[in-house]
Amino acid sequence: MRDWVKEWHPDGRLCIWRYADPGRNWRGWHLAADPVGCRSLRRLLDCMQGGEACSRKFGLAPVTGAILSVPNAGRKIEVHFKRLRISYLPDFEDLHLAAEDERLLMTVGDRRIHKLSSAFALVEKGGGDFDVRTSEDRKADPWMFWWMPDINYHLENRQ
């Protein structure tokens, strides 16, 4: 049987950050990806969904001043994360991101994988400034999704 997750290769750009001093409205994780990165991540999530527990790791793009200007919530981030490991655990209930040095560990399961994939589909088309709830706990930090500032989404989506 083919291992689609192992055969997947990342493409495009994905940035993930947290603000150093977020205040109430900017807490949680922030994600931005270009259209190619969004499609690539959605392919990975599709390969993972419904299968056995698995994971994949890959590099993250740097968070630039231009990217931070989209939400315009400040320029100070906690740390630049260089790598991301996405772990799929079918029975995992929430979306979870945790920092480990310069690496991020993301965990997702069947319950929320579709919400995550849908969020990247919206960003791929130029959407942004929305959050995805990570659990049923209303106090849990949301994940905020943003568009890339250097993409002409109108032209990108005509292809």
Q: What is the mean pLDDT of residues 43-48?
A: 97
What pLDDT was estimated at residue 159? Answer: 47
Q: What is the mean pLDDT of residues 108-115?
A: 96
Spatial separation of the C-alpha atoms in residues 141 and 29, rounded to whole Å: 7
pLDDT digits (tens, 9 = 90+) for 55-88: 999 999 999 999 998 988 777 888 889 999 999 9
Q: How high is the mean pLDDT of the chain?
A: 91
Q: What is the mean pLDDT of residues 125-145?
A: 92
DSSP state of 104: E
Q: Which residues of 70-105 are buried (b: 16+ CB within 10 A; e: fewer)?
A: ebebeeebeeebeebebbbbbebeebbbeeeeeebb
Spatial separation of the C-alpha atoms in residues 122 and 145, rounded to whole Å: 9
What pLDDT was estimated at residue 155? Answer: 60
